[in-house]
Structure 1
Amino acid sequence: MEGKRSLGQNTEPRLGACRSAFTKRRKRSLSAIKMPKQIHEIKDFLLTARRKDARSVKIKRSKDAVKFKVRCSKYLYTLCVFDTEKADKLKQSLPPGLSVQDL
């Protein structure tokens, strides 16, 4: 009877419980990762930058747009500005206590 498998016997090692526990743990940790939030209005971005938990602002310039990224305690908020004059005005109106990095 060694060559034949009966329906009731499982010949593989019992790893099902370990795998399911691992995938549950992995799914839980992946859901804990927070994705960045995009802000579409300049006024909302300035209010977010003035919050108490805002730590820093990074400004990334490309040939098409200027991206402002403010790091808060829970999320990274991003604003895309396609007009360079508006971007310069926005940079001037950022709170003075916030660290600003040009990338």
Structure 2
Amino acid sequence: MVTILSGLPTNKPDHLSPSFASVPTVYPGVSPSREIVAAISLLNATLDRGWQIADLASAAALSSSQLTRLFRTQIGVSAAALLRQLRAGSRNHKT
């Protein structure tokens, strides 16, 4: 399993936005698109929500297939896998 929440560079300019600077990346030099940054920010803000890919894609102004493809190519994992990691990280910080 790929762990993208720790130990990987974010390599995004801090001046763009706080959420953009904290988005994990798997591929050095590849910055996620603003749609993927928006989707990750949404996931982070609503960890308890039961997300469907179609709903997340719509919120990010993408089709489901485009969202899926961009997550895999820009982040290295699916949106569902990232959400599981975010939830696990959130639980670990609460204890």
> Do these two structures clear the TM 0.5 threshold for a shared fold by scoring above it?
no
TM-score bin (small chain): under 0.3
Structure showing greater Rg: 1
When you count helix as a share of all residues, which structure comes out higher?
2
